[in-house]
Amino acid sequence: MNEKICELPEGYVPSDKEEFMNDLQREYFRGKLIQWKEDIIRDAENVKQYLQEESASSADVADRASSESDLAYELRSKDRARKLVHKINEALLRIKNGTYGYCEETGEPISLKRLEARPVATLSLEAQERHEKQELVRKDEN
């Protein structure tokens, strides 16, 4: 899945002036997603190593309690990171199958600005806002 689509010109940034989700844009977002995934995995490994070292060196009861609290926090963070890596993998699959950048609800292009801010986005801003409003209505009804 890490096959390059094309070679990006140095300093390339997607623009609304070009065809939406052309090879350059897909390669740009593919590279961005892969880098993000690598960063998340590297950070998770660093945290894991740090926590193992801290746990081994904590003899004091208060230090151990603090370490366990830190561990609980890091486990929650790690779970969020795992879910994000899953979303990144799904986005990479969408790039491969040609559906990346298009709203799953409307089929319309997701703005480049939104994809730049949230490369795993599956809904256009308008569809996301409708979705969030529907969730609020459901919450209020319960």
Residue 22 identity = N
Residue with tokens 């890596």: 85
Q: Where are the domains of the chain?
A: 19-100, 103-142
Q: What is the reported pLDDT for 66?
A: 72
Fold category of 19-100 in CATH:
Four Helix Bundle (Hemerythrin (Met), subunit A) (1.20.120)
- Reported as type and span, the H/E element at residue 115 is helix 112-117
Q: Would you state the structure tokens that stand for residue 108, as one six-digit string?
A: 């319309």
Residues in the chain: 142
What is the average per-residue pLDDT within 128-139? 90
Rounded (10°) angle between helices 23-57 and 61-97: 160
CB atoms under 10 Å from CB of 115, counted, come to: 21
Name the more confident of 1 and 10.
10
